[in-house]
């Protein structure tokens, strides 16, 4: 690479060839979140087996390239994890897996994290279980404290 760009090669790869794009029939859990500031929306579907392991994850987004790439990586990371472990797939973990993200795009990775949480929440509610540490999801990530912390506001 002759030029230093804002986006890592890994991020570009997940943007150009996103993994796990699509919908799922009868998902174990599904969640949709949006960001009112940029108007982007993310929907996450999870297929979870009887051992509470994520077998399949799919996503659809009306979002920017960073949202596509972070969701793609997030779906890859949650597969094979228990629902409890899937909670640890934070936006920081996703960013690390993508070799970083430009600061102005950090909120995009929060969309993926919140969408996973919303899908896990839906799964927990349907199955009447508690996933420790999982908070009720917000519909608009703009409302989260984390978002403001990351924006330095």
Task: Specify the stretch interacting with ligand FES by CB under 6 A; choose among 20-28, 46-54, 61-69, 72-80.
Answer: 61-69
Task: Specify the stretch interacting with ligand FES by CB under 6 A; choose among 23-31, 44-52, 64-72, 125-133.
Answer: 64-72
Q: Considering only residues 90-109, where is the footprint of ligand FES by CB under 6 A?
A: 108
Question: Is residue 41 a contact residue for ligand FES (CB under 6 A)?
Answer: no
Q: Is 64 considered catalytic here?
A: no
How far apart are alpha carbons 68 and 14 in whole angstroms?
Answer: 7
Beta bridge partners of 60: 43
Out of 108, 110, 134, 141, the active site residue is 108
In the complex, the residues that contact ligand FES under the rule CB under 6 A are 35, 38, 40, 63-64, 66-67, 108, 111
């Amino acid at each position: 690479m002759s030029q230093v760009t804002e986006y890592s090669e890994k991020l570009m790869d997940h943007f150009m060839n996103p993994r796990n794009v699509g919908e799922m029939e009868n998902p174990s859990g599904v969640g949709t979140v949006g960001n009112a500031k940029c108007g982007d929306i993310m929907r996450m579907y999870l297929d979870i087996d009887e051992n509470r392991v994520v077998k399949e994850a799919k996503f659809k987004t009306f979002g920017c390239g960073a949202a596509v790439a972070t969701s793609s990586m997030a779906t890859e990371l949650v597969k094979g994890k228990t629902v409890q472990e899937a909670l640890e797939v934070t936006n920081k973990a996703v960013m690390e897996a993508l070799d970083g993200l430009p600061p102005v795009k950090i909120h995009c990775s929060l969309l993926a994290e919140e969408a996973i949480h919303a899908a896990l929440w839906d799964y927990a509610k349907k199955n009447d279980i508690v996933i420790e540490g999982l908070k009720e999801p917000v519909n608009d990530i703009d409302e989260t404290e984390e978002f403001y912390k990351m924006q330095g506001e």
